Chain A
Amino acid sequence: SQQGEEDPQALSIQEGENATMNCSYKTSINNLQWYRQNSGRGLVHLILIRSNEREKHSGRLRVTLDTSKKSSSLLITASRAADTASYFCATVTTDSWGKFQFGAGTQVVVTP
Chain B
Amino acid sequence: EPEVTQTPSHQVTQMGQEVILRCVPISNHLYFYWYRQILGQKVEFLVSFYNNEISEKSEIFDDQFSVERPDGSNFTLKIRSTKLEDSAMYFCASRRTGGQNSPLHFGNGTRLTVT
A residues adjacent to B (C-beta < 8 A): 4, 30-31, 33, 35, 40-45, 48, 50, 88, 90, 92, 96-105
Contact between A45 and B103, CB atoms less than 8 A apart: yes
Can you name the residue of chain A whose Cβ is closest to the Cβ of B6?
A42
Residues of B within 8 A of A90 (CB): 104
Residues of B within 8 A of A31 (CB): 100-101
Interface string of B89-111 (1 = CB under 8 A from A): 00101000010110111111100
**Would you give 29 A-B contacts (Cβ < 8 Å), ordered by A?**
A4-B42, A30-B100, A30-B101, A35-B106, A40-B108, A40-B109, A41-B108, A42-B4, A42-B93, A42-B107, A42-B108, A42-B109, A43-B91, A43-B106, A50-B101, A88-B42, A90-B104, A92-B100, A97-B100, A98-B98, A99-B45, A99-B56, A100-B33, A100-B104, A101-B45, A102-B44, A102-B45, A104-B42, A105-B43
Beyond A33-B103, A45-B105, A98-B31, list 17 extra A-B contacts (CB 8 Å): A30-B100, A30-B101, A40-B109, A41-B109, A42-B108, A43-B43, A43-B104, A43-B106, A88-B43, A98-B33, A99-B58, A100-B45, A101-B45, A102-B42, A102-B45, A104-B40, A105-B43
Can you name the residue of chain A whose Cβ is closest to the Cβ of B48?
A98
Residues of B within 8 A of A104 (CB): 40-42
Residues of B within 8 A of A99 (CB): 45, 48, 56, 58
**Alpha-carbon distance A105/B42, docked complex (angstroms):** 7
**Alpha-carbon distance A37/B97, docked complex (angstroms):** 23
Residues of A within 8 A of B4 (CB): 42
Number of interface residues, chain B, beta carbon within 8 A: 27
B residues adjacent to A (C-beta < 8 A): 4, 31, 33, 35, 40-45, 48, 50, 55-56, 58, 91, 93, 98, 100-101, 103-109
Most B CB atoms within 10 A — which of A42, A43, A48, A50?
A: A42
Among B35, B56, B91, B105, the residue within 8 A (CB) of A96 is: B56
- Shortest beta-carbon distance, B104 to chain A, in Å? 6
- Shortest beta-carbon distance, B75 to chain A, in Å? 14
Among A48, A50, A97, A103, the residue within 8 A (CB) of B98 is: A97
Can you name the residue of chain A whose Cβ is closest to the Cβ of B4?
A42
